[in-house]
Amino acid sequence: MNYSLSRLKISKVVNELEKYEEFPRLENVYRLAAKAIYSEFDSLGTTAALQDSMAFFLRECKNPMNRVIFDDGVDNLTSASVVNYYLNDSDFFSKKGNVLQSLCFAQEALQHHAVFNDVCILDVLEKHFRSIDCYVPAVMNDLFMILDIPFTKHESTNTARPNTEILYLK
């Protein structure tokens, strides 16, 4: 019996096929957003798109503390400080404010990855983006628009975002 085929790894086959593939592939919009955010951070050292999303959240989701956060600047925002800002409004934090914290988590994950390189950063970012979409889909709509990723507009927190898989050329 020939066992040479058992030594082939699927990942090696896929990687070789990928070099010759000319057809569009299905890709998840959250993964595309993660790749775009990571690429921006890796090449430019900035998280401007995430900070723009933070500012969008502060304008979109009304709360008296948002003015204070704006005045302090979203570039100084951390996941811990978000909790402090909304400490007296746990209802807002549990329904919407954790989106701002998730954006901070994504930013902090990028900074952590730059130093330690110990996590699959795309998986971490994708997880945060999916979480954000569950609480305030408008933030992800805006982020997809900023990153120029085709998306289906979604506003409901009761249903999943439709058409998350899109065709794109490598």
* Residue pLDDT, tens place only, 29-72: 999 999 999 999 999 999 999 999 999 999 999 999 999 999 99
Q: Which residue has the tokens 């900035």?
A: 46
* % of the chain beyond a pLDDT of 70: 84
Within the chain, strands assigned E span 25-28, 165-168
Please, which pLDDT band fits residue 139 given cuts at 50, 70 and 90? very high
Domain residue limits, the chain: 27-164
Taking a C-beta distance cutoff of 8 angstroms, is the pair 103, 47 a contact?
no
pTM (two decimals): 0.82
